[in-house]
Structure 1
Amino acid sequence: MMTAMTTAMTPELALQHIWTVAGCDPAALSSVSLTGADPGLPSVYRVGTLASATVAATGLAAAEYHRLRTARRQQVSVQMRRALASFRSERYLRINDGPPPALRDPVTGFYETRDGRWIQLHTNFAHHLQGVLKVLGCDRDRAAVAAAIRGWDGATLDQTLADAGLCAALIRTPDEWAALDQANAVAGLPLFEIERLGDAPVEPQRGAVGRPLSGVRVLDLSRIIAGPVAGRALAHHGADVLLINGPHLPNIAPLVIDNGRGKRSALVDLRDAAGCATLRGLVGEADVFLQTYRPGALAARGFGPDELARMRPGIVYVSVSAYGHEGPWAQRRGFDSLVQSASGIAFTERQAAGGDEPRHLPCQALDHATGYLAAFGAMVALTRRATEGGSWHVRVSLAQIGRWLQSFGLLPDGWQAADVALDDVRDCITTVESEFGRVSAVQPAEQLQETPAFYALPPTRLGAHDARWV
């Protein structure tokens, strides 16, 4: 039997928590207006509270960074329905009034194991799919995959796939998750971290006063949702965001479109010396370095946080990971839905709704919240650089966000809330012409009174621009 907490989390309390963890000026909170209440989507979790608070934190951080130059505070407002629309941006994306390319591979999903457990496969990248099929010894057919998985015990398959560097998660109860060493490692971390990496001179803001992040240069080395959402949020507050992809790395077409708005895009191959030299040149003139590689992966190529602080004193280095940077799962590959499955969220949603299969949240809430908090952390660090100097490291993970969401308390009947269709959020959508065609996508949800958030550039194909600053 599920019970809600005596004092349930509200958007206002959640925003206050974010602001307090970051050590920001509490007086700024009086400039924020939040409207709406959960359930905004069919879920027993307070997803709307998470969306409103993280979006509002990002908007308020932008407003405060802008205040450094103008000495003026401005009102920031967030409607929960708009924040939830932004948390479902990939779902509402349309190209020429029709659906975008497929988001998921048909093999991705839940499967029952021999011992009556459930496991989730994540096979949206071709090499992950082929790896899973090789372990299972079956063809690329959902029925064949289901039959093969029925020959495995759940925990054994979960570990086997993880050891092979593949993407899967055993469906655990919250108590089963809490008993794992990884859950204890995550529990020992704050919601996010903004740490000083080293000394550097105070850097006054540059660029035009018009937009909060005018003059801020961001290198975005991320793919899929969480990191790209962070880069997109910095772009819609005026940053010059240059997306850097490896020419060999897989991507998912609709996410390239949705999360590429406001950015330029270049290809740099870090497997060779010339590519590393190009990136070092870009870092020398960057303000923010945003990356979602597994912990330690970029450090092995000379682009870890300490190396960049020496290379470019004053850099703000932002690290986004799946399961956190500590614990035995720190190197495990993961995505939003897998973290939901591993940590008990998918079990709890199923238990509430009484369904036969596990059930995910009605949006990629961990991804989007992580992205907004990564952007928030970057702006807080930029503010500190402008006032006290230093190089900074921001760290946040999907698992930390999931743990925080689970602490909000449950809405036992929340899963019965009505779903929100595209027609219900037409007022949240804007359309732009692009090389992909006419792209209709969700606008930024935070509304700033003096400096409205918007995308100055349409989405573009990967590698459309040179790897240089304009």
Structure 2
Amino acid sequence: MRQTAAAEPVPLASSLAVGELAWASVCAVGAAVRPDELQPPDPDQIAAAYRSDRHLLIDAVPPDVWSPLSRFWQTADGCVRTHGNYPHHAAALKRGLALPSDASVEQVSGRLATMTAAAACRDITAAGGLCAAVRREDPRYDAALRRRPLVETRRLADSPARSMPSDSRAAPLAGVRVLDLTRVIAGPVATRTLALAGADVLRLDPPELPEPPWQHLDTGHGKRSALLDAATEAPRLHRLLTDADVVVLGYRPAALRRLGLSPEVLAERHPHLVVAQLSAWPGEDSPRGFDSLVQAESGISWLESTDGSAPGALPAQALDHSAGYLLAAAIIDALRRRARSGGSRLVRTSLRRVAAELLGMPRGERPAVTAPYAVRTQQFDVAGHVVTTVAPAVRWPGSPEWFPPPRPWGEDRAEW
């Protein structure tokens, strides 16, 4: 991953090269849009974008973005990290620990303290929850991951070339239709970036699993939001795919196969599609995961410890945001390839592959404090609420200064 160095460092305090990773990831989008005319972004705005959840305001109040069950825990032989921001994941965590649904944080802590980290991960995962052991880094494994492309791109099927529908400098993706089947941060950052470039993005969520409101408002800019269950409404989904140019997938590979939405099946049925896939871990058997869990498993949490005895975290959800920007850049490149030579293409990466990239970059000493940085924000009225979010970090010549507003979650029709 090589990009022009920033004139000023991106102020994300870490001994790891988080700022350099963020700079290169954001620059990748600008380079994909205008490879012949690069416009460097603002390092301060990149830092703000990577920490957007910390600048988000809803009716002038910062939302509480972490569940009490999303944290580190001490076990009998080490530490684990769990994720319980979604209610169904919090319920599964307690179920995996054989605790009642109304169990307190203290009860969860007490149960985990009696278990090994391996047993906790096994039982919680088996129940459908999310738990990762906090491990030390494995340089050999990371080096093996880095021998693979940071974002894999390959041709899946043949089809006639389709020209880019727009030559607008401000909106180079105008007329491109993107079906967004992602959640949380990485996938929504990718599709938000495509929407900024003018794409018509339709996000679909299962009706029974609402997105936390703050999360949707933080990354939902410029997209329409509709409800559709991919498991029970496959014909409607494939009708949408017939007229789409891009589909962005955030489901686990096993779930995609079960739903008949694996990249290979999609390319066979819709040989014009650019299929973009994000997962937490590499490989076809990737379990559920989030940025915080990948930091724990990859060794980043121990490297970010401030005292050597308690694990820490990166100054931002940098794996998520970087994966999102890198995937958006690869999608734009795949669309340009399709315009030249046709065909369906797969572009994919994982948070763990991005972590390996970060762990292979030059390191320095951890700054004592995070340097102050300027933040450009914008305000919207969304469903009667005043929402303040961070303005775009991505830049290309003629690019918009501001995001279009988010739509209310789930209130649009599932149609183009």
Normalised TM-score (structure 2): 0.94
Residue number among 231, 240, 254 corresponding to 2:200 in the alignment = 240
Residue number among 106, 114, 126 corresponding to 2:76 in the alignment = 114
- 1:266 touches 1:464 (CA, 8 Å); kept in 2? yes
In 2 relative to 1, CA 365–283 (structure 1 residues): closer, same or farther, beyond 3 Å?
A: same
Provide the rounded CA distance (Å) in 1 between the counterparts of 2:231 and 2:117.
36
Please say if 1:299 is aligned against 2:257: yes
1:145 deviates by 1.4
Give a deviation string over 1:431-462, Cα, whole Å, max 9, x none: 22222522111111122222335423x11222
1:410 deviates by 1.8
- 1:320 touches 1:395 (CA, 8 Å); kept in 2? yes
1:111 deviates by 1.0
Q: Which runs of 5+ in 2 are unaligned?
A: none
Residue number among 382, 406, 416 corresponding to 1:459 in the alignment = 406
In 2 relative to 1, CA 34–409 (structure 1 residues): closer, same or farther, beyond 3 Å?
A: closer
- 1:114 touches 1:151 (CA, 8 Å); kept in 2? yes
1:355 deviates by 5.2
Which residue does 2:301 correspond to in 1?
346
Which residue does 1:313 correspond to in 2?
271
Which residue does 1:447 correspond to in 2?
395
Query: SS in structure 2 opposite 1:140?
Result: coil
Give the structure with the higher percent helix: 1
- 2:97 touches 2:124 (CA, 8 Å); kept in 1? no
Give a deviation string over 1:243-277, Cα, whole Å, max 9, x none: 011101242221111111110011112232xx211
Which AA in structure 2 matches 1:81? Answer: D
Which AA in structure 2 matches 1:198? Answer: A
Please say if 1:170 is aligned against 2:133: yes
Which residue does 1:79 correspond to in 2?
42
Which AA in structure 1 matches 2:215? Answer: L
In 2 relative to 1, CA 161–379 (structure 1 residues): closer, same or farther, beyond 3 Å?
A: same
Please say if 1:363 is aligned against 2:340: no
- 2:302 touches 2:308 (CA, 8 Å); kept in 1? no
Residue number among 374, 378, 394 corresponding to 1:425 in the alignment = 374
Query: SS in structure 2 opposite 1:338?
Result: helix
- 2:166 touches 2:172 (CA, 8 Å); kept in 1? no
Which residue does 1:27 correspond to in 2?
none
Provide the rounded CA distance (Å) in 2 between the counterparts of 1:128 and 1:209.
43
Residue number among 332, 341, 344 corresponding to 2:287 in the alignment = 332
Provide the rounded CA distance (Å) in 2 between the counterparts of 1:375 and 1:450.
18
Which residue does 1:276 correspond to in 2?
234
In 2 relative to 1, CA 431–51 (structure 1 residues): closer, same or farther, beyond 3 Å?
A: same
Which residue does 1:6 correspond to in 2?
none
- 1:103 touches 1:253 (CA, 8 Å); kept in 2? no
- 1:15 touches 1:54 (CA, 8 Å); kept in 2? no
Provide the rounded CA distance (Å) in 2 between the counterparts of 1:135 and 1:255.
26
Please say if 1:137 is aligned against 2:108: no
Normalised TM-score (structure 1): 0.83
Provide the rounded CA distance (Å) in 2 between the counterparts of 1:209 and 1:331.
39
Give a deviation string over 1:47-73, Cα, whole Å, max 9, x none: 111111100101221224xxxxxxxx4
Please say if 1:265 is aligned against 2:237: no
Which residue does 2:327 correspond to in 1?
374
Relative to structure 2, which stretch is displaced further, 188-197 or 312-321? Answer: 188-197
Which residue does 1:252 correspond to in 2?
212
Alignment of 1:212-227 (within 5 A): 212-227=172-187
Provide the rounded CA distance (Å) in 1 between the counterparts of 2:38 and 2:398.
8
Query: SS in structure 2 opposite 1:120?
Result: strand
In 2 relative to 1, CA 442–124 (structure 1 residues): closer, same or farther, beyond 3 Å?
A: same
Which residue does 1:103 correspond to in 2?
65
In 2 relative to 1, CA 132–451 (structure 1 residues): closer, same or farther, beyond 3 Å?
A: closer
Alignment of 1:8-157 (within 5 A): 14-16=1-3, 34-37=6-9, 40-64=11-35, 73-100=36-63, 102-115=64-77, 117-138=78-99, 139-157=102-120
Identity among equivalent pairs (%)? 36
In 2 relative to 1, CA 184–61 (structure 1 residues): closer, same or farther, beyond 3 Å?
A: closer
Which residue does 1:468 correspond to in 2?
415
Which AA in structure 1 matches 2:359? Answer: Q
Give a deviation string over 1:325-347, Cα, whole Å, max 9, x none: 25xxx331110000000010001
Query: SS in structure 2 opposite 1:196?
Result: strand
1:146 deviates by 1.2
Provide the rounded CA distance (Å) in 1 between the counterparts of 2:82 and 2:401.
37
Query: SS in structure 2 opposite 1:155?
Result: helix
Provide the rounded CA distance (Å) in 2 between the counterparts of 1:105 and 1:334.
16
Give a deviation string over 1:348-373, Cα, whole Å, max 9, x none: 111xx215421010110000000111
- 1:237 touches 1:453 (CA, 8 Å); kept in 2? no
In 2 relative to 1, CA 280–453 (structure 1 residues): closer, same or farther, beyond 3 Å?
A: farther
Provide the rounded CA distance (Å) in 2 between the counterparts of 1:310 and 1:454.
38
Relative to structure 2, which stretch is displaced further, 189-198 or 161-170? Answer: 161-170
Give a deviation string over 1:132-183, Cα, whole Å, max 9, x none: 21232345322221111111112222233233332011110013x856xxx6
Query: SS in structure 1 opposite 2:363?
Result: coil
- Tell me how many residue pairs correspond in the alignment: 413
